[in-house]
Amino acid sequence: MSSRFARRYGAHPGHLVVLLLCFALTGFTVWRLSVEADLPVMVRIGVWFVAVAVVWDLVLGPLLALADRLLRPLARVGALNHVRVPAMASALLLLVWAPAVLQRSEGQFRTKAGLGQDVFLGRWLTITAVLFAVSALLYGVGRLRARRPA
Amino acid sequence: MTATADTSPTGLRGRVEHVVRHGPGGPFRERSWRSPLRGPWLTSVLALVLLVGLLVLIVTGLLSYAAYDPRLGGSNEQTPGRGALAFFLFTWPTSPAWLYRVNQGTHVLLGIALVPVVLAKLWSVAPKLFEWPPVASPAKALERLSILLIVGSILLLMVTGVMNVQYDYAWGFSFYTGHFYAAWVFIAAFAAHVGLKLPVMVRSLRSRSFVAEMRVSTKDTVAEPRDADHLVSPDPLPATMSRRGALAVVGGGSLGLLALSVGQSVDPLRPTALLSPRGQSYGDGPNDFQVNTTFGETRIEPAETGSAWRLTLVGPSGTVVLRRDELLSMAMVSEELPIACVEGWSTSQRWTGVRLRELAALVGGADEESVFVESLQKGGAFSTHTLSGRQVRAARTLLALKVNGVDLSLDHGFPARIIVPAAPGVRNTKWVRTLVFGGSA
């Protein structure tokens, strides 16, 4: 009985039970949301829900993979990670702090916190420059050591 | 694609059959995934970090929700449709005073620090997104649907959280609504994912020693043995980074984000929070600390806060109206208490004012189960708010008139503001004009 189920379904019955519980709770959550939110709000939340996954999986992810592939020739001179690591760190900081760095919410920030966002772009650029400079220094030291006979 | 191939039925059928059997090419070809690092062990290391970290985020998130005492209604209740999703609610305590500060600082700082781990985990399983055939069985189809739920919800939680702490409200829905309901979808999908994948994670982690793996150089790094889940590349390139290096990059990203953010929650470290909006200094005067609603935003007429200002107390035994100098002549107490925002930043200051329970006693309201606080603010989501009876009776709950020895500044709520120990910052209503003991929204 159970093996016939497994052949048809593709996994053991527990697998189905777990997923049905997951969808039941998700359905309940969407229903509760619909109690308080009107249709446009629900649509916007749904669009954001799908959009963030699509943007990461199908846009940002592939773009980052492509950028990484373009950097590959640097491996021949042993510099790949010396560029890749600070670039990833800098991109991560921009990804997280983009609203501040790009001054996307200057108006809100000014009225709510009484502060401006004009300092953040300079700070991000400075951190990026320091990361690349330290990485270049480490690369240079490594090259010098490699050239000098032990 | 040529016209002849398209019009010939056998050609078209052949082509369709080929695509159905082998996939449309590109990323759907297993051989196009060539990183030698992808494999069940690396994915499981990241999964273990997330398993622990995300559990902490779920607990601190649900506690943060409870900290608003949503059952009191009005502005306490930001998600009125919650129903049984808020089954766990309890009356929020008033001690220790650092409770909300630590809870919310942990939630936001850990959430930010886990961003690179989540992204690395998604990278590590990316080939699964392009698996061919996309649905090999009903089980696979349902599981993929649950994966969409977990990926969509965790990214939405990250995006709304990170944008909210930077005042970027571009979504067209309330942060509370989006973050709360996405959290419940995430909890559902996360629980199912852990339930289905925990054995694979444990087995994969046991497949090699973490300590030994941390000693393998890039030169000696080779792909893991092929696995049933097809994470391992069938045609890996030579490694350009060891697994140790990859984990160091991810962990370094987390620690870097943490180091650049922790200052928003720890007063002496504030200048180190270089990219966090709450790292900026206001100066070093007694009123120079973080503001989250400036006086200018409230549209209160400055004259309303001057000599014409009166505090109205309403309770079972009647109404009492007090001038500010009458309040100042009451028994003054000073308390060192934090303001801790849902956005994760916090700051501890020394507040001086009248105990709220003494004001309650003036109108016979000391035993009431709530106090409805009205601000001079015109509009605004939190211009009125309700505190619980527990908060009214707490010895350290103040109607503060001064901070750090001087009058409150207009931005910090002059003539008078509420300060409640252990509660979210937004519950400390500023520019208070009326307190209705026993009242609610």
Model confidence pLDDT, tens digit, residues B386-421? 999 999 999 999 999 999 999 999 999 999 999 999
Q: In chain B, what's the furthest Cα-to-Cα distance?
A: 97
The mean of the pLDDT values for chain A is 94
Residue A59 sits at the chain B interface (C-beta within 8 Å): no
In which residue are the tokens 């829905």 written? Answer: B173
- Of residues B82, B85, B294, nearest to A111 (C-beta): B294
Half-sphere exposure of B100 (CA within 13 A, CB side): 30
Mutation for testing the A interface, residue in B162, B173, B241, B290 having most A CBs under 10 Å: B173
pLDDT value of residue B21: 84
pLDDT class for B5, splitting at 50, 70, 90?
A: very low
* Contact in structure between B41 and B139 (CB atoms under 8 Å): no
Domain boundaries, given as residue ranges, for chain A: 1-36, 38-73, 78-150
φ, ψ (nearest 5 deg) of residue B29: -80, 125
B164 or B380, which is more confident? B164
Q: Comparing C-alpha atoms, which of B254, B255, B273, B276 is closest to residue B263?
A: B273
DSSP single-letter state for residue A150: -
| Chain A residues near residue B152 by CB distance under 8 angstroms | 49-50, 52-53
Mutate which of A16, A22, A34, A80 to disrupt the B interface (most B C-beta within 10 Å)?
A: A22
CA distance B320 to A11: 70
Tell me which CATH homologous superfamily contains domain B295-437: Oxidoreductase, molybdopterin-binding domain (3.90.420.10)
Q: Are B185 and B153 in contact (CB under 8 A)?
A: yes
**3-state helix vs strand vs coil in chain B, percent to 5:** 50, 15, 40
Predicted confidence (pLDDT) at residue B1 exceeds the cutoff of 70: no
Name B354's bridge partners: B399
Looking at the predicted structure, is the pLDDT value of residue B335 above 90? yes
Q: Are B123 and B249 in contact (CB under 8 A)?
A: no
Residue B61 near residue B106 (C-beta atoms within 8 A): no
Task: Provide the token pair at B327.
Answer: 């309040």
Contact A26, A34 (CB under 8 A): no
CA distance linking residue B358 with residue B132, whole number of Å: 70
Nearest chain A residue to B126 by CA distance is A57
Q: Number of C-alpha atoms within 13 angstroms, CB side, residue A135?
A: 19
Token pair for B253: 């990203």
pLDDT in tens, chain A (150 residues): 568 999 999 999 999 999 999 999 999 999 999 999 999 999 999 999 999 999 999 999 999 999 999 999 999 999 999 999 999 999 999 999 999 999 999 999 999 999 999 999 999 999 999 999 999 999 999 999 988 765
- Kindly give the pairing relationship between strand B432-437 and strand B311-315: parallel
Average pLDDT over residues B34-49: 97
Decide if A125 touches B, using CB distance below 8 A. Answer: no
Q: In the predicted model, is pLDDT for residue B3 greater than 50?
A: no
Inter-chain touch B275–A123, beta carbons under 8 Å:
yes
Residue in A62, A89, A100 closest to B277 by CB: A100
Looking at the complex, report in whole angstroms how far the Cα of residue B134 sits from the nearest Cα belonging to chain A.
14
CB B272 within 8 A of CB B259: yes
Domain with CATH 3.90.420.10 in chain B: 295-437
Reading across the β-sheet that carries B384-388, which strands appear in turn? Answer: B318-322, B311-315, B432-437, B370-375, B384-388
Could you report the per-residue pLDDT of A138-147, keeping only the tens digit for each? 999 999 998 8
Residues of A with CB below 8 A from B252's CB? 89
Question: Does B4 have pLDDT greater than 50?
Answer: no
Question: Could you read off the pLDDT of B73-114 as tens digits, one per residue?
Answer: 999 999 999 999 999 999 999 999 999 999 999 999 999 999
**CA nearest to B427, candidates B392, B401, B395, B379:** B392
**Other CB atoms within 10 A of residue B253 CB:** 23
Q: What pLDDT score does A150 carry?
A: 56
Which residues are CB-contacts of B328 (< 8 A; sequence separation ≥ 6)?
B401
The structure tokens 């997923």 sit at: A19
